[in-house]
Amino acid sequence: MDSHTLVDAAMSFGTPLYVYDLPFVLQRISVVTELFKDFDFHLAFAVKANFNKDILSALEKSGAMVDVVSFGEYNQVRSVGFTPDRIIVNGNCKKKEELDKYVQDGVFSINLDSYEELLRLETVLSRPARVSIRVNPDVDAKTHRHIATGLRENKFGVDFDTASAMIERIRSNKMLELIGLHCHIGSQITEVEPYLEAVVSIKYFARSVGLRVQVFNLGGGWGIDYGNGKSLDLEEYRQKIFPILKEFGSAIVLELGRWIVAPSAYLVSKVEYVKKTASKIFVMLDTGMTHLIRPALYGAKHKIIPLYETKGRKKIKADVVGPICESADTFRKSYTMAEPKEGEFVAICDVGAYGYAMASDYNLIPKPKEVIWDGKKLFRSS
């Protein structure tokens, strides 16, 4: 999607707004599907990354599955046509009535996050249910501490001893079918080694308990390049991980969210002020941390591109900030850019994941609009 399309979107719909490149999303699905072509492979889109209905509808038509972590996400994907047999249910705090609904509907798998959850599930088994166990292999994903999920100290999943006890209990229950193991060690992972460590440890665990894994759910977490040149090397991933996966001889599920949608979207914003003080220049936008909280929450650094003519403009170092009444409302500090003028547009890049999905109503500033580019035209999203 070029800058002219983004400017057209801003002029047509107003700012701030998210603009999603739908052909890019579908192309990413093709890439990962081709990569795993030699496996019985299922892509399950991680809905927590982006729950936009038009994007979900396109994913449904593509044949993908989905991974949900809440009952709200479950209802969202059902509303756009996903049948229960294409839905994987994750989450560490499933309510009893939610488990009952998942059992009644017959979802593809309920991924059990604790022994206690297994006990709760047993109380609502009015019909057979398919389950997997989320194992926590105590692997450092080498990512931000807030999105690391595979360490012993994290709240997600169970250790191997607990998983072994769960397997024994499930084997004794004719209403439960244990289809496999699930392992999600974190997000925005840019090195292959943590995946290798996790997969190898799970292979040996499965052998130690005599478990034939029908479905090996690798979770997700593939990291993208946010402008620092670091992303997961898929060729290295193929060379190091695939030989071990072939030893399992099982179906493979991959729960990707960020890698699919993050690079597809831009947050287009208008420059309201260029404020100059004795010590700083502030470029003040009409969007802020309530629309994109990743910089404030994770220290994320998103590339910001000008949607105005930069030729002949003076280069400045500025803090790019928003309108929220918080000092944390800063997208970039001392960011080098061609000096903008009031009323001109900029685009914050790679915001398709954990962008609008994490937006809030803080300060009662309205949420941004969402616009889809389908390759031919722009339209307001539902």
| Residues 152, 136 contacting (CB under 8 angstroms) | yes
Q: Which long-range contacts (CB under 8 A, 24 or more apart) does 111-118 make?
A: 111/182, 111/217, 112/166, 113/156, 113/157, 113/158, 114/158, 114/162, 115/158, 115/162, 115/165, 115/166, 118/166, 118/169, 118/170
Query: In a 3-state reduction of DSSP, which class is residue 325?
Result: coil
Cα–Cα distance between 196 and 193 in angstroms, integer? 5
Nearest to 328 by CA among 300, 307, 347: 300
pLDDT at 150: 45
What is the topology classification, in CATH, of domain 22-261? TIM Barrel (3.20.20)
Low-confidence ranges of the chain (pLDDT < 50): 144, 146-148, 150
Counting other chains too, the contacts that 277-281 makes at CB distance below 8 Å and 24 or more residues apart are: 280/318, 280/319, 281/316, 281/317, 281/318, 281/319
Residue 349 CB partners (closer than 8 Å, separation 6+)? 226, 227, 263, 266, 302, 303, 304, 305
- What is the model's pLDDT at position 149? 52
**What's the length of the chain?**
382
Written as one letter, the residue type at 46 is A
Residue 8 amino acid letter: D
User: pTM of the predicted model, to two decimals?
Assistant: 0.94
Q: Where are the domains of the chain?
A: 3-16+263-380, 22-261
Rounded distance between C-alpha atoms, residue 60 and residue 86, angstroms: 9
Give the CATH class of 3-16+263-380.
mainly beta
> Is the bond preceding 16 in cis, omega lying within 30 degrees of 0?
yes
- pLDDT of 143 reads 53
Closest among 192, 190, 275, 173 to 227, alpha carbons compared: 190
Instruction: Please report, for residues 60, 104, 172, 177, 188, the alpha-carbon distance to residue 257 in angstroms, rounded to integers and kept in the order given.
Output: 14, 27, 35, 27, 10
Half-sphere exposure of 205 (CA within 13 A, CB side): 27
Instruction: Identify the active-site residue in 93, 183, 325, 349.
Output: 325
* 325 annotated active-site: yes
As to burial, measured by CB atoms within 10 angstroms (0-12 exposed, 13-18 middle, 19+ buried), residue 342 is exposed
Residue 38's closest CA among 255, 243, 257? 243
Q: At what angle do helices 160-171 and 193-208 cross, to 10 degrees?
A: 40
Q: How far apart are CA 168 and CA 209, in angstroms?
A: 9
Estimate the crossing angle of helix 71-79 against helix 53-62, to 10 degrees: 70
Q: What would the pLDDT profile of 310-334 be if each residue is shown by its tens digit?
A: 999 999 999 999 999 999 999 999 9
b or e along 85-124 (b: 16 or more beta carbons within 10 Å of the residue's beta carbon)? Answer: ebbbbbbeebeeebbbbbbeeebbbbbbbbeebbebbeeb
CA atoms within 13 A on the CB side of 14: 5
Distance from C-alpha of 359 to C-alpha of 220, rounded to nearest angstrom: 22
User: What are the pLDDT digits (tens) for 280-300?
Assistant: 999 999 999 999 999 999 999
